[in-house]
């Protein structure tokens, strides 16, 4: 499965070129598979972006690759700013990252809280520290991210997308930690929609299903499912990172100006089956 986009995303898509010209995105986990392609879509549509990651070298490399999809700015700057060595569990790291983004691009319009950690473990063997680690990265990290961006979002009347999941809609074994974190994220997003709506800020979640070629699928799913499991999904195929990118563009676009506090599930209808892979 190819996990990158090119200019055909614009020429063959429903979106007009320059849809996001003048806008700036702040994306945690932006060097990871799903968030990287979300950033590619935004950048191909004229947005600038800061990608925030724990691994400095990976973040720099991915920023270069995404920047190469579009011409440099008239001042010679790349479209994507890498900000590495950031742990989303540390609010000060995020405050610094926001400052660097604003120093470089002048503003923040869109936030994607995508940084996540996960592993397979049953509850009996899950240590308190293991549970806390995933809650701290996924839920507290998302909270720290939007708190750090708040002042900029007020100025821009911006929009937030949290990367959620469908685990907590039913009981998924060996995923109690991440299910609890993502349930918390959905709740946090709803509260933001209500508290910050009057400020002109929108907040929504995207809940991906089984997306081919991702770290999540590799970690969570048997190889046989990735190769032969598509017929178990109502739409008869695994999802792609492009499917998530399309939903992202919609939720940040003016077409969704009256949509806040929602969860956009992008899973080919799978969660309705109420089964795991």
Q: Establish if 11 lies at the interface with ligand HXC (CB under 6 A).
A: no
Taking the C-alpha atoms of residue 226 and residue 229, their distance in angstroms, rounded to an integer, is 6
* Alpha-helix residue ranges (DSSP H) falling in 135-255: 141-156, 176-196, 215-220, 223-228, 241-252
Nearer CB in complex with ligand HXC: 142/260: 142
Nearer CB in complex with ligand HXC: 250/271: 271
240 belongs to the catalytic site: no
Site string for ligand HXC, 115-154 (x = CB under 6 A): -xxxx-x-----x-xx--xx--x-----------------
Taking the C-alpha atoms of residue 218 and residue 222, their distance in angstroms, rounded to an integer, is 8
Nearer CB in complex with ligand HXC: 82/117: 117
Tell me which residue has its CB nearest to ligand HXC.
Answer: 117
Question: What Rg, from alpha-carbon coordinates, does the chain have?
Answer: 18
Nearer CB in complex with ligand HXC: 158/216: 216
164 belongs to the catalytic site: yes
- Answer for which of 219, 223, 237, 272 binds ligand HXC (CB under 6 A) is 219
* Catalytic pick among 23, 48, 159, 182: 182
Alpha carbon distances (Å) from 113 to 52, 121, 143, 182, 189: 10, 24, 9, 12, 11
**Both tokens assigned to 247:** 């939903």
Output the furthest CA–CA distance in the chain (Å, rounded).
Answer: 57
Phi and psi dihedrals of 117, rounded to 5? -135, 145
Catalytic residues: 164, 182
**Which parts of this chain interact with ligand HXC (CB under 6 A)?**
116-119, 121, 127, 129-130, 133-134, 137, 165, 178, 208, 215-216, 219
């Amino acid at each position: 499965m190819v996990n990158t986009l090119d200019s055909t995303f614009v020429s063959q898509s429903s979106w007009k070129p320059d849809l996001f010209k003048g806008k700036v995105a702040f994306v945690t986990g932006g060097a990871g598979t799903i968030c990287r392609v979300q950033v590619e879509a935004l950048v191909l549509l004229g947005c600038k972006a800061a990608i925030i990651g724990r691994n400095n070298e990976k973040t720099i490399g991915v920023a270069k690759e995404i920047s190469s999809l579009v011409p440099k700015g008239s001042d010679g700057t790349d479209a994507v700013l890498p900000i590495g060595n950031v742990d989303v569990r540390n609010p000060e790291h995020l405050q610094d990252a926001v400052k660097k983004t604003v120093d470089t691009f002048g503003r923040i319009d869109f936030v994607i809280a995508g940084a996540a950690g996960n592993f397979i473990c049953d509850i009996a063997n899950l240590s308190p520290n293991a549970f806390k680690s995933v809650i701290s990265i996924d839920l507290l990290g998302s909270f720290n991210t939007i708190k750090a961006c708040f002042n900029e979002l007020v100025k821009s009347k911006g929009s937030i997308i949290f990367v959620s999941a469908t685990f907590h809609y039913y009981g998924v074994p060996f995923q109690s930690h991440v299910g609890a974190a993502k349930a918390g994220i959905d709740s946090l997003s709803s509260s933001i929609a209500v508290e910050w709506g009057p400020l002109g800020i929108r907040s929504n979640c995207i809940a991906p299903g089984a997306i081919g070629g991702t770290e999540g699928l590799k970690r969570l799913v048997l190889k046989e499912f990735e190769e032969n499991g598509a017929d178990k999904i109502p739409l008869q195929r695994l999802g792609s990172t492009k499917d998530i990118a399309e939903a992202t563009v919609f939720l940040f676009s003016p077409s969704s100006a009256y949509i806040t506090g929602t969860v956009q599930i992008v899973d080919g209808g799978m969660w309705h089956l109420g089964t795991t892979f």
